[in-house]
Amino acid sequence: MSKLSSIVLLFTVLTWTGFSQKRTSLDDDWRFHFGHAANAEKDFNYSIATIFSKSGGAAKTAIDPKFVDTTWTKVQLPHDWAVKLPFVYSDNFDVISHGFKPVGGLYLETSIGWYRKRFQVSNSSKNNRFEIQFDGVFRNASVWLNGFYLGTNQSGYLGFSYDVTDYLKYGEDNVLVVRVDATQYEGWFYEGAGIYRRVWLHETNKLHIPQHTVFVTATPSGRKANVSVALEVENKNLTSDNCSVYTYITDRNGKELTRSSKKNLQIGAPRKTDASFNLTLNNCTRWDLENPYLYRAVVVVEKSGQKIHQEKVKFGIRSFEFDVKKGFSLNGKRFKIKGTNNHQDHAGVGAAMPDDLQYYRIRLLKEMGSNAYRASHNAPTPELLEACDSLGMLVVDEQRLLNSSPEYLDQFERLIKRDRNHPSVILWSIGNEEGWIQKTETGKKIAQTLLTQQKIFDPTRTSTYAADMPNEFNGVNEVIPIRGFNYRQNAVADYHRDHPNQPLIGTEMGSTVTTRGIYEADKQRAYVPDQDITAPWWASRAEEWWVLAAENDFWLGGFIWTGFDYRGEPTPYQWPNVNSHFGVMDVCGFPKNIYYYYKSWWTDEDVLHISPHWNWPDKVGQDIDVWVNSNADEVELFLNNKSLGKQVMPRNRHLKWKVPYQAGTLEAVAIKKGKTIRAQVKTTDTPFAIKLAPSVEKMRANGTDLAIINVSVVDKNGLEVPVADNVIKFRVSENAKILGVGNGDPSSHEPDQCAPGTWQRSAFNGKCQLIIQAGKTAGDITVEAYSNTLQTTKITLKQLP
Ligand code: GAL
């Protein structure tokens, strides 16, 4: 052997046995094309070529690595193809409930999506193990790598991964192909379509810790905590192997606090072995809603004294309890669960929500005073849970279907293993409103099987089920540890009387339908007044349910249906209405008036809010219903400095005045514990300029950071014009890109995504929203908003290296 080749060999061996673990994002540079659900030729020959007869090839299809995809559209993940499609009228229930987008079995041309991506792996990685992880694809995704079929994942919500070590090529292109079949729905709400969450490539040693097998449980007792870390080590080598494993815990700054001793493991080939460690932490900081403190448990696998694999898991130390008499408590502190239900789409981007948007939305909910989030009715995106962990928001994590078949037991197991280390998760939900079975013996048996599954994979928590049943017990309710009520709030007290030992929670409550900034019902445009007035027959107004939940100890609290409006479920109207009105905030996250009802009783902050706006030129002299939301002790209302009377503020309720309209200033002056608080609404002038309020001033040039820019139309005094509907156009410098636009109008058919150079959106009652994503080169980003009749506005955001 020459000297040079022995040096090369030595170097290669070192890299083989050394620490070469990596997680690489595969979100960039995909190509996308629609297939066809009924025409095989238009589906790249999918159902006429011999895809499954021989391994490693699928000639004449898009699966073939040599297939030329240069004419396909370039896309970046997360990608939701449904959001870009036009709205189409239909009288089919499922199309209506999915927001009138042409996706599903009726739309053969726009329900199959093909994705292709090339990536390279270096030659030096040849002896490692590789896994491709999809965080969520809607839905029925079949995956091939270099022509090899990897598998099909049905769920549109749960992530999945494949070991691809055998198929990888090193130092040359690998071709990953995904066929997504969205012809079936899983829900009755907008679900998006495509690879709408992130995709990762994991590189590890063949001796490694498989994903989601580390389970950290922390049991606090006073200032101490016992931390148990259980894990698996897998040997994917062809011969048995040995290694040692240990664990250490760090604080959130990475400072090591305690370390276990090493355990030596001998693992057959290919095999898995369990290991576990118990550690004690002194003087620990609890994870709570105000200070969501996260520790890290680091598990290290060593071979011959060298680190070969490491898993870092964030965890929190907290205790919680659901007590039928005392209610919910976290770390011994009692409080009501003030929750919201949410689906997972936002203005502009649909279901393809970049990570920053998850944080943005959780912050908005927290500002309202909400402390809990129910991921209805499906596994959330991993980054949503990370946002809840790090911002301090409790979570009910929900299984899509109440079903104990192998497919759904497997989904439940994957959900629990993926999410059980998140301190924010306090409760699993095994299902929602399963009308066929919830009252039956079959439903009860399925529930029992799922509850057993839950205890196997997570003995530290319990489960609920969201039942749309009044005071009824037979079926799922007989066995569910925490009884969930969807609506039927007036039956809760009777149920509690009859079953006094079962804690209960409002899994779906309230559900006033409101359109932001609208004060008269309008059947034609499908708008409902923006006050706590209108609720569907099965639901209740905010003030109906919250009074019950707040004033009765046997209510643990509840979850509003919903925190944000979402696409689909246009209730109480249909076309042209394309999204729900249930949100306390609209699809952009702009608060509706009911937001201030919740905020006044869900926070200790000073809240004083007057509605409606004060621009009613056609109503001079006519009575206007003025609502005041506040948590003050008393409120006095003035119109143009003339008192309209003082009222005592009843707890958990609102105040109302009838005020003959006259332009000018309506002012509320409130006294809260001796302190004076003031709020005003003023008649504005006509639209004059555009105001841009970005969520951040600085982004990193990483291609993923977001700026959510709230846009308002203001008069010449800078007051937002509450009826403005000007069309606003947007331009952003080339070092960033616009992801989407929205305005919260539930009947708008304007596109959320526009062709380059044509971005625009009309304001809806004074506001719209622009979402910008960072580019990859540092430098200032300029954002310009202009309109034919308004003064142009330009802002600069910093993009840091
Ligand atoms: C509930 C259901 C929700 C949503 C809501 C609309 O019954 O669980 O998903 O459909 O009704 O009011």
**Per-residue pLDDT tens over the stretch 502-556:** 999 999 999 999 999 999 999 999 999 999 999 999 999 999 999 999 999 999 9
Q: Hey, what are 389's tokens? A: 């962990």
Please enumerate in sequence order all residues whose Cβ is within 8 A of that of 68, keeping only pairs 6 or more positions apart, or say none. Answer: none
> What is the Å distance from ligand 1's center to 351 Cα?
19
C-alpha to C-alpha distance for 24 and 164, rounded to whole angstroms: 14
pLDDT band at 9 (very low <50, low <70, confident <90, very high): very low
Residue-wise pLDDT for 660-691, tens only, equals 999 999 999 999 999 999 999 999 999 999 99
Asked, for residue 476, whether it belongs to a domain, the answer is yes
Residue-wise pLDDT for 216-226, tens only, equals 999 999 999 99
Q: Name beta bridge partners: 395.
A: 373, 425
Among 464, 575, 571, 593, which Cα is nearest to 516's? 593
Residue-wise pLDDT for 692-724, tens only, equals 999 999 999 999 999 999 999 999 999 999 999
Please state at what angle helix 355-368 crosses helix 594-602, rounded to 10 degrees. Answer: 70
Same domain? For 449 and 550 the reply is yes
Same domain? For 306 and 366 the reply is no
Q: Is the pLDDT of residue 104 over 90?
A: yes
C-alpha to C-alpha distance for 276 and 230, rounded to whole angstroms: 4
First to last CA, the chain: 46
User: What's the rounded mean pLDDT across residues 469-484?
Assistant: 98
Q: Which atom of ligand 1 is closest in space to residue 376's alpha carbon?
A: 9
Residue 518 contacts residue 765 (beta carbons within 8 Å)? yes
- Write out the H or E segment, with its range, that includes residue 496: helix 492-498
* Domain of residue 110, residue span: 22-204
Same domain? For 275 and 333 the reply is no
Domain boundary residue, one of 550, 579, 602: 602
Q: Which atom of ligand 1 is closest in space to residue 536's alpha carbon?
A: 12
Domain boundary residue, one of 185, 204, 223: 204
Same domain? For 370 and 502 the reply is yes
> What is the Å distance from ligand 1's center to 371 Cα?
21
> What is the Å distance from ligand 1's center to 386 Cα?
26
Same domain? For 538 and 620 the reply is no
List, as one string, the DSSP characters of 556-612: EEEEEE-SB--BB---S--TT--B----SB-TT--B-THHHHHHHHH-SS--EEEES
For residue 612, is the peptide bond before it cis, meaning its omega torsion is within 30 degrees of 0? yes
Q: Which atom of ligand 1 is closest in space to residue 511's alpha carbon?
A: 12
Same domain? For 586 and 472 the reply is yes
**Positive or negative, the Cα torsion across 718, 721, 727, 733?**
positive
For the stretch 238-275, what's the b/e string if a residue is b when 16 or more beta carbons lie within 10 angstroms of its beta carbon?
Answer: eeebebbbbbbbbeeeeeebeebeeeebebeeeeebeb
List, as one string, the DSSP characters of 197-222: S-EEEEEE-SEE--TT--EEEEEEET
Asked, for residue 63, whether it belongs to a domain, the answer is yes
Assign residue 54 the CATH number of its domain: 2.60.120.260
Residue 493's CB is within 10 A of a number of other CB atoms, namely 14
Q: Hey, what are 328's tokens? A: 């919910």
Active-site annotation, residues? 433, 508
Same domain? For 592 and 452 the reply is yes
- What's the pLDDT score for residue 751? 98
C-alpha to C-alpha distance for 116 and 62, rounded to whole angstroms: 8
CA angle 637, 643, 645 (to 5 degrees): 65
> What is the Å distance from ligand 1's center to 285 Cα?
39
Asked, for residue 608, whether it belongs to a domain, the answer is no
> What is the Å distance from ligand 1's center to 412 Cα?
22
3-class secondary structure, 172: coil
Q: Which atom of ligand 1 is closest in space to residue 97's alpha carbon?
A: 10
Same domain? For 368 and 489 the reply is yes
Ligand 1 neighbours, Cβ below 6 Å, are 188, 432-433, 468, 486, 508, 511, 536, 539, 561, 569
Asked, for residue 39, whether it belongs to a domain, the answer is yes
Residue 485's CB is within 10 A of a number of other CB atoms, namely 26
Q: How many domains does the chain have?
A: 5
> What is the Å distance from ligand 1's center to 508 Cα?
8
Asked, for residue 282, whether it belongs to a domain, the answer is yes
Asked, for residue 5, whether it belongs to a domain, the answer is no
The residue to mutate among 433, 577, 581, having the most atoms of ligand 1 within 8 angstroms of its beta carbon, is 433
In one-letter notation, the amino acid at residue 139 is R
The residue to mutate among 378, 400, 569, 573, having the most atoms of ligand 1 within 8 angstroms of its beta carbon, is 569
Residue 741 contacts residue 348 (beta carbons within 8 Å)? yes
The residue to mutate among 508, 538, 541, 577, having the most atoms of ligand 1 within 8 angstroms of its beta carbon, is 508
User: What's the rounded mean pLDDT across residues 366-388?
Assistant: 98
Same domain? For 93 and 196 the reply is yes
Residue 109 contacts residue 99 (beta carbons within 8 Å)? no
Asked, for residue 8, whether it belongs to a domain, the answer is no
- What's the pLDDT score for residue 18? 60
Asked, for residue 12, whether it belongs to a domain, the answer is no
Same domain? For 259 and 115 the reply is no
- Write out the H or E segment, with its range, that includes residue 479: helix 476-479
Note the residue count of the chain.
801
> What is the Å distance from ligand 1's center to 128 Cα?
47
Domain boundary residue, one of 625, 654, 682: 682
Residue 656 contacts residue 618 (beta carbons within 8 Å)? no
Assign residue 569 the CATH number of its domain: 3.20.20.80
Assign residue 256 the CATH number of its domain: 2.60.40.10
Q: Which atom of ligand 1 is closest in space to residue 466's alpha carbon?
A: 8
Same domain? For 590 and 486 the reply is yes
Same domain? For 430 and 560 the reply is yes
CA 59 vs CA 9, 181, 205, 517: distances in Å: 38, 21, 33, 57
